[in-house]
Amino acid sequence: MSDGRAVPVKDLILVPSLITLAITVLRLVGELQSWSPALFSKAAGGGGSLIGISWLILVFGAWFGWRLTQLGHGASGPLKVSGIALVVGLVVGLASFGIGKLAGQNGFFAAFIVGSIAAVFVTRSLWPALWRTLLAYAFAARVPVAILMLFAILGNWGTHYDVPPPNFPDTYSPLVKWVLIGLLPQMTLWIYMTVVGGLLAGGIAGALARKRA
């Protein structure tokens, strides 16, 4: 539970945001230089490359949960936070895939965006201090990627930042392409994954921090 002090969001996310930005730049350089595909894949969506920032969601989510608990901004039931976050994530994913089966790729994409936005707001009350921290970190991590994708698409760099998913129409202008595969996903889907995934990891770390204390 919070002890009434302000949550030091900026201090908490500063170093994680810089690390995330550094890895984003490293990933871009590796792809432009055609380094190992296993580490720097140019495939749409990243191809599961080891060098990337998606796995940092769990790492920094856990770190935020641990530190907030130590600072007196913990949750009364951190494992409950993790459990609800897991359920929310499963509901959004399953509902989106179900709609995708009925309405196709566009339906899946639209449902995932709407579900992502809803999930972010629904989880706000689970652990407000962690939620605010994760939301701030999410934008700090994803805004640079969205901007990078704009330049990559306009310049046709041939990286995963500008490669569209399969069956994506090639008739769209570069700006429309960026909005559809860059701006919208980065500002909705990845924000949701950072917040919900971070709550899942942060709740577990928060419980461990409480037990240790």
**For the chain, how many structural domains are there in total?**
1
Nearest CA-CA partner of 146 in 201, 82, 190, 103: 190
Cα distances from 149 to residues 119, 124, 146, in angstroms, run 25, 29, 5
**Structural domain contains residue 172:** yes
* 3-state SS, residue 73: strand
**Structural domain contains residue 185:** yes
The number of C-alpha atoms within 13 Å of 188 and in the hemisphere containing its C-beta is: 18
**Structural domain contains residue 204:** yes
**Structural domain contains residue 37:** no
Q: What is the pLDDT of residue 2?
A: 53
| CA distance linking residue 152 with residue 174, whole number of Å | 10
Q: Which domain holds residue 149?
A: 55-212
**Structural domain contains residue 190:** yes
Q: What is the pLDDT of residue 4?
A: 52
Return the structure tokens found at 8.
């030091």
Mean per-residue pLDDT pooled into runs of 10, the chain (213 residues): 75 98 97 93 85 96 97 94 95 85 79 92 96 98 97 95 87 93 95 97 96 80
pTM confidence score:
0.93
